[in-house]
Amino acid sequence: MTDILLVYITCDSVEQAKTIGKHLMKNRLCACVNIFPDMQPMFFWPPKTNQIDESKEVVLIAKTTEGKYQELEDEVHKIHTYDVPCVIAIPTQHISKKYYNWLIGELEFEEK
């Protein structure tokens, strides 16, 4: 097990995913993001109804550490347009040493 998390975040557009991703990266809350356009979700909305929403979404995956997760989640909630954004942290069990060192190095980088 490692302290690296993959944070799964749904967005309403690629533009929103890029905005959130850049915001998180500039604040060193994640080292990189991946954006998956054109996801096909199905979920109950509005809440506590039998209505199934089938709108399109974009998935943003942010790579971070356990120690930065709460601040990352807080920032997503501040800038996201959804009332209830999906923000799910997925723990990692294994990660290559070189990639881990790069990721940690980016999260700890401070411009001089």
| 8 Å CB contact between 59 and 9 | yes
Domain boundaries, the chain: 4-108
Assigned architecture for domain 4-108: 2-Layer Sandwich (3.30)
For 34-90, the pLDDT digits (tens) are 999 989 999 998 999 999 999 899 999 999 999 999 999 999 999 999 999 999 999
Burial environment of residue 95 by CB neighbours within 10 A (0 to 12, 13 to 18, 19 or more): middle
Could you list the beta-strand ranges (E) of 45-107: 52-53, 57-65, 87-91
Quick one: pLDDT at residue 65?
98
Q: CB count, 10 Å around CB of 29? A: 22
